């Protein structure tokens, strides 16, 4: 089945540093989504990407939809303590039946920010 390979698994950084994480797939995606999950809460959508090559920003967050449609990356600039959490990439592969609601998720990147 479809899998998303997300890396790194975890990151420990100092406040103020920039962060980069990425996601690769064995299948083509027509949408890439990046979510953040805090302990005890559900995932919250950060950025949605809909076109190959698209580069989208949301405040200090920037994400890109890879040209091959099989990868995406998320950058966080000037990290702050509240950036702590688990970041997931997700998307509905083109080959998936059931529409956009059937998402495949990566295993997540756990981010720790030291003040």
Partner 1 sequence: DAGVTQSPTHLIKTRGQHVTLRCSPISGHKSVSWYQQVLGQGPQFIFQYYEKEERGRGNFPDRFSARQFPNYSSELNVNALLLGDSALYLCASSTYNSPLHFGNGTRLTVT
Which residues here bind partner 1, judged by CB under 8 A?
A: 1, 4, 6, 31, 33, 35, 40-45, 48, 88, 90, 97-108
Please answer whether residues 13 and 109 qualify as being in contact, where contact means their C-beta atoms are separated by less than 8 angstroms: no
State how far the Cα of 73 lies from the Cα of 20, in Å rounded to an integer: 7
**What's the min distance (Å) between Cβ of 78 and partner 1?**
26
Which residues are CB-contacts of 94 (< 8 A; sequence separation ≥ 6)? 27, 28, 29, 30, 69
> Of 17 and 38, which has the nearer Cβ to partner 1?
38
**What's the min distance (Å) between Cβ of 45 and partner 1?**
5
> Of 23 and 76, which has the nearer Cβ to partner 1?
23
**What's the min distance (Å) between Cβ of 66 and partner 1?**
18
With the CA atoms of 98, 99, 100 and 104 taken in that order, what torsion angle do they form, in degrees rounded to the nearest 10?
A: 30
């Amino acid at each position: 089945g479809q899998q998303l390979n997300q890396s790194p698994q975890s990151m420990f950084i100092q406040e103020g540093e920039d962060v980069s994480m990425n996601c690769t797939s064995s299948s083509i995606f027509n949408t890439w989504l990046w979510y953040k999950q805090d302990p005890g809460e559900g995932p919250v959508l950060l950025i949605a990407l809909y076109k190959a090559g698209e580069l989208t920003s949301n405040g200090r967050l920037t994400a890109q939809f890879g040209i091959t449609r099989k990868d995406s990356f998320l950058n966080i600039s000037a990290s702050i303590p509240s950036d702590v959490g688990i970041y997931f990439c997700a998307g509905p592969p083109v080959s998936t039946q059931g529409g956009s609601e059937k998402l495949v998720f990566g295993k997540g990147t756990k981010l720790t920010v030291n003040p």
